[in-house]
Amino acid sequence: MLSPIPAGRTAAIALAIGINYGYFGAAMAGAQLYLSPQLGLSVGEQGTLFAVPVLGMLLGVLTANRIVTAAGRRPTLLVASLVTAVLGAASPLVANLVWIDGTRLLIGIAMGVVTVVVPVYIAEAAPPDVRGRIAVLYQVAIVGGIVAAFVVAYALAPSGLWRVMLAVTAPAATVCVALLVRAPDTVPGARRTAGPSVFAELFGRRYRPVTTFVILLGALVQLTGVSAVGNFAPRIFEGMGFRGPFALLILPAIVQVSGLLAALASSSAVERLGRRATLLGGTAVLAAGHALLVAAFATQRGGTVLGLAGLLLFTVGFNAGLGSLLWIYASEGYTDRLRGAGATALLLPNLAVNFVLAQFFLGALGTLGGARTFAVLLAVSVIAWLYLFRRAPETRGRTLEEIHEYWQNGRTWAG
């Protein structure tokens, strides 16, 4: 590892990249309200606007470990941010579904690479006493980007300028480029040498316990429906009886602000209360939110109030628990050499589930109805809580070496 990086610089990079990632992910939620009628898109075609970038992220995740091993952490993040800046400006220039999906696929590839590398960069660059806090601040920044996307969409709603809504990704990515240009690296790139495959090693005897935990954690995060709820928040509000730009765009932003506050609170709680208590508490609140959403869609009176309360609880619970702790567990469990591959192991099932939900959630909402759809998500959330209760360790105050020994010694702390 190279010379230490000041905590402030590391935090600034994490915040900038997180905001850009969150904005890109949520910009289409508002833009598609105006883009879809203009292009005459079917429900399935609307799904591709969200599913295609996820497919790109899958491709980016699959190639990220090889790229970051050869080029290093910082150069990889720098190039990915440059690609996002250029294509973010180009994507909305042509009102054609193939063009928009094609450019968003390429941005998705860059975002997939970033998603793997950023948690690794934070884990290696941040001092141990603030490592968990900066990792949570990255999640806070993602939520901040999501909020910004809905606010921008509302500001532009009277004119329906969906092109501008999408193009804001470009200046956000440019800020990331400016911060990364002079930032130091943590682990330099190196030529690949002969030796066992890192992925074979992930599933070997020493790392199989943490890899299994990380894979299931990645899948469970998406199976709670977090990306689907974010992508289709305006449609969900519409289905509960809300109408008008304020209700469909600002209420989702308010919901995300509640998540932002929860993530900020989690950044303190994760070091004060511990990883495990924060994770289990947040997941329980998330499940309670799903229960209220089931009731909201099932009732004929008061559904809007119950629905808003349900979305608030769901978002608060996710951002306080799984959303904030996911990357901490994934980055702490592996050595420097395997950390990128470990992030890939988490992201592949995560993005695979995300892709399916992005493509089919809107259709399921219309076919099954909101009550049945959210009842399924509620059941998954309960299963997730039970799994985490049995398997999630408490790593607060532990060094990375101690955490590695825990997983490699049959889930037993040394001493």
pLDDT at 203: 86
| 269 part of a folded domain | yes
Q: How many alpha carbons fall within 13 Å on the CB side of residue 112? A: 33
**Is residue 19 in some structural domain?**
yes
For residue 48, being part of any structural domain is answered with yes
How high is the pLDDT of residue 188? Answer: 62
Contacts of 86 (CB under 8 A, 6+ apart): 170
Q: How far is residue 332 from each of residues 336, 340, 394, 408, measured CA to CA in Å?
A: 10, 11, 12, 13
Residue-level pLDDT at 189: 55
The mean pLDDT value for 281-290 works out to 95
Asked whether the predicted pLDDT for residue 194 surpasses 50, the reply is no
User: Mind listing the pLDDT tens digit for each residue in 227-279?
Assistant: 889 889 999 998 888 889 999 999 999 998 998 888 778 777 777 888 888 99
What is the predicted pLDDT for the residue at 301?
58
Query: Which of 148, 176, 3, 153 has the alpha carbon at shortest distance from 80?
Result: 176
Q: Which residues contact 177 (CB under 8 A, 6 or more apart)?
A: 78, 81, 82, 85
Look at residue 193 and tell me if it is in a domain: no
Query: Does residue 84 form part of some domain?
Result: yes
pLDDT at 1 (0 to 100): 46
* High-pLDDT (> 90) share of the chain, %: 47
Place of tokens 């309670």: 288
Higher pLDDT, 12 or 7: 12
Binning pLDDT at 50, 70 and 90, where does residue 195 land?
A: very low
The domain spanning residue 334 has which CATH number?
Answer: 1.20.1250.20
| Residue ranges making up the domain that contains 175 | 7-186+198-408
Domains held by the chain: number: 1
Tokens 């808003």 locate to 308
- Two structure tokens written together for 58: 């899958």
2 falls within a domain: no
pTM of the model: 0.79
